[in-house]
């Protein structure tokens, strides 16, 4: 590794990502940068803007900082490695980013998707939005306009950013009866009006239809409703009047609640079904979920085509917080950055400030990944930044850089 140190006394315009001072706080703030080459085409830069710790009661308002930003830059033209996304033993568990980097054998990585977290004690790692791992769509993008997706092809390190949409269905191959799928690997909701019914097929209130894969957890969610287990060909292996089972390799299951329970049994019968799953980008073009493709979810685009596009907002999400950013430069470098926050030694950034940082780092396109206590960067399984909590938070998934060419397999 090689290292270099630069000192910037005031904003220096937008010459390059390496020397443009961050547009944070007062213009007279001292800014220091240190850089090291982690591997061919991979650079880690640490930026500290401001020198004096912030008073505890001014963290959200100070114009003096300080701010601590760590920037991982990957040049696809020079590296032999690839960027990917990974999760822990299963999709529904949480793992620390440092552990995900270490266990995957990655050189470096950052936390990625928004995930269920405290909303589910049983399935905290369940992504709230897109989860695409080596061509397997394990979580569909939500319909929330705030969701922004980061998709990378590990074979070429080419990146797609924007808002993806998804549709899915299950169709009986003989009768052609069809039922829309609503989710992939998310526990279905049992309508309150139907919860006490001993037979969910008698329910007349709408429920959910969900596809589950073995990657979700040790067993599928249990509870009222029906479940149909399918083999690799989509043929029915078994049907149950309640939900919750272990899936063998190659098996999938369909769960339904509410009045969809009866509909699912009608569509599947004892035959074979065809399942469809279609991802579409912002231009309406289909995105084939092929090997080597990875995707995670974020909230809000920061920049698009070189313009700052983050919307206005006033709730706590838009105020100063630790942040994780993923983006690309005009010349197709991949940039992953963390901004420490909620501390006297680094106050964090508002969404507007975050977008300004992405722009100053020359991110032509960028999205805001999960932040707050999740914001973490790791190199070689060791912490690079300082998470805002008392300990590093376990997260749902991570973007990781593998210093080897993509050969397929794993997640």
CA angle in degrees (0–180, nearest 5) for 9-14-16: 95
Q: What are 251-310's pLDDT values in tens digits?
A: 999 999 999 999 999 999 879 999 999 999 999 999 999 999 999 999 999 999 999 999
- Tokens 């800014």 correspond to 31
Q: Would the pLDDT of 12 be above 90?
A: no
Q: What are 66-116's pLDDT values in tens digits?
A: 999 999 999 999 999 999 999 999 999 999 999 999 999 999 999 999 999
Strand partners, 325: 337, 368
Q: How confident is the model at residue 195 (pLDDT cuts 50, 70, 90)?
A: confident
Q: Would the pLDDT of 1 be above 90?
A: no
- Tokens 């065809």 correspond to 274
Q: What is the pLDDT of residue 8?
A: 43
Alpha-carbon gap, residue 266 to 236, rounded angstroms: 12
Q: What is the pLDDT of residue 406?
A: 96
Task: Let me know: does 38 contact 379? Beta carbons within 8 Å.
Answer: yes
How many other CB atoms sit within 10 Å of the CB of residue 348?
24
3-state class (DSSP) for residue 247: coil
Structure-model confidence comparison of residues 409 and 40, the more confident one: 40
Preceding amide of 360 cis, omega within 30 = no
Q: Number of helices and strands (H, E) in the chain?
A: 3, 30
Alpha-carbon gap, residue 160 to 151, rounded angstroms: 5
Q: What is the pLDDT of residue 19?
A: 64
Tell me the C-alpha to C-alpha distance, in Å, between residue 45 and each of 2, 56, 159, 320, 384. Answer: 11, 27, 21, 22, 11
3-state class (DSSP) for residue 100: helix
Task: Let me know: does 267 contact 325? Beta carbons within 8 Å.
Answer: no
Tell me the C-alpha to C-alpha distance, in Å, between residue 5 and each of 15, 35, 37, 184, 307. Answer: 18, 7, 13, 47, 30
How many other CB atoms sit within 10 Å of the CB of residue 352?
15
398: left (phi over 0), alpha (psi -120 to 50) or beta: beta
3-state class (DSSP) for residue 104: helix
Alpha-carbon gap, residue 49 to 23, rounded angstroms: 10
Structure-model confidence comparison of residues 167 and 196, the more confident one: 167
Q: How confident is the model at residue 408 (pLDDT cuts 50, 70, 90)?
A: confident
Q: What are 118-140's pLDDT values in tens digits?
A: 999 999 999 999 999 999 999 99
Strand partners, 242: 224
Strand partners, 366: 303, 327
Alpha-carbon gap, residue 296 to 290, rounded angstroms: 15
List of residues 6+ apart from 121 with CB closer than 8 A: none
Stated pTM of the model: 0.94
Q: What are 301-349's pLDDT values in tens digits?
A: 999 999 999 999 999 999 999 999 999 999 999 999 999 999 999 999 9
Structure tokens at 403: 């210093």
Longest dimension (CA), the chain: 73
Q: What are 207-254's pLDDT values in tens digits?
A: 999 999 999 999 999 999 999 999 999 999 999 999 999 999 999 999
3-state class (DSSP) for residue 97: helix
Structural domains in the chain?
Answer: 1-163+291-411 (no CATH), 167-278 (2.60.120)
Q: Average the pLDDT over 43-69 and give the result.
A: 98
Q: How confident is the model at residue 33 (pLDDT cuts 50, 70, 90)?
A: very high
Q: What is the pLDDT of residue 270?
A: 79
- Which helix (DSSP H) or strand (DSSP E) does residue 353 occupy? helix 351-360
Q: Would the pLDDT of 17 be above 60?
A: no
Alpha-carbon gap, residue 393 to 299, rounded angstroms: 19
Q: What is the pLDDT of residue 277?
A: 97
Per DSSP (E only), the strands in 183-312 are 183-184, 209-212, 223-230, 236-243, 252-256, 273-280, 286-287, 293-299, 301-304, 307-308
Task: Let me know: does 184 contact 211? Beta carbons within 8 Å.
Answer: yes
């Amino acid at each position: 590794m090689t290292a270099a140190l630069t000192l910037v006394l005031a904003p220096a315009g937008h010459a390059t990502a390496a020397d443009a001072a961050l547009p944070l706080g007062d213009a007279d703030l001292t800014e220091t940068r240190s850089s090291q080459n982690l591997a061919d085409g991979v650079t880690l830069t640490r930026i500290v803007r401001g020198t004096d710790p912030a008073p505890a009661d001014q963290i959200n308002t100070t114009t003096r900082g300080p701010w601590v930003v760590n920037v991982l830059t990957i040049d696809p033209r020079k590296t032999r490695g690839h960027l990917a996304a990974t999760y822990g033993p299963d999709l529904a568990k949480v793992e620390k980013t440092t552990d995900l980097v270490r266990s995957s054998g990655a050189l470096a990585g950052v936390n990625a998707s928004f995930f269920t977290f405290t909303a589910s004690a049983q399935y905290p790692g369940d992504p709230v939005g897109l989860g695409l791992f080596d061509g397997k769509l394990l979580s569909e993008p939500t319909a929330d306009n705030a969701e922004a997706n980061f998709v990378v092809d590990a074979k070429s390190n080419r990146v797609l950013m924007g808002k993806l949409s998804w549709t899915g269905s299950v169709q009986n191959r003989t009768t052609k009866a069809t039922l829309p799928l609503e989710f992939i690997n998310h526990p279905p909701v049992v309508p309150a009006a139907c919860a006490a019914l001993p037979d969910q097929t008698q329910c007349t209130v709408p429920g959910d239809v969900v596809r589950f894969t073995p990657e979700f957890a040790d067993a599928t969610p249990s509870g009222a409703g029906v479940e149909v287990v399918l083999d690799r060909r989509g043929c029915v292996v078994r049907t149950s009047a309640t939900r919750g089972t272990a899936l063998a390799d190659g098996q999938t299951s369909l769960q339904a609640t509410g009045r969809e329970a009866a509909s699912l049994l009608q569509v599947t019968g004892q035959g074979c079904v065809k399942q469809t799953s279609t991802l579409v980008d912002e231009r309406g073009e289909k995105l084939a979920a092929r090997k080597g493709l990875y995707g995670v979810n974020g909230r809000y685009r920061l920049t698009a085509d070189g313009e700052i596009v983050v919307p206005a907002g006033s709730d706590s999400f838009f105020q100063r917080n630790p942040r994780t950013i993923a983006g690309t430069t005009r010349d197709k470098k991949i940039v992953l950055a963390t901004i420490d926050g909620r501390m006297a030694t680094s106050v964090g950034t508002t969404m507007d400030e975050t977008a300004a940082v992405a722009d100053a780092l020359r991110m032509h396109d960028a999205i805001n990944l999960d932040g707050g206590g999740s914001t973490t960067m790791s190199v070689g399984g060791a912490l690079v930044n300082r998470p805002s909590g008392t300990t590093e938070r376990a997260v749902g998934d991570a973007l990781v850089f593998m210093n080897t060419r993509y050969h397929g397999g794993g997640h």
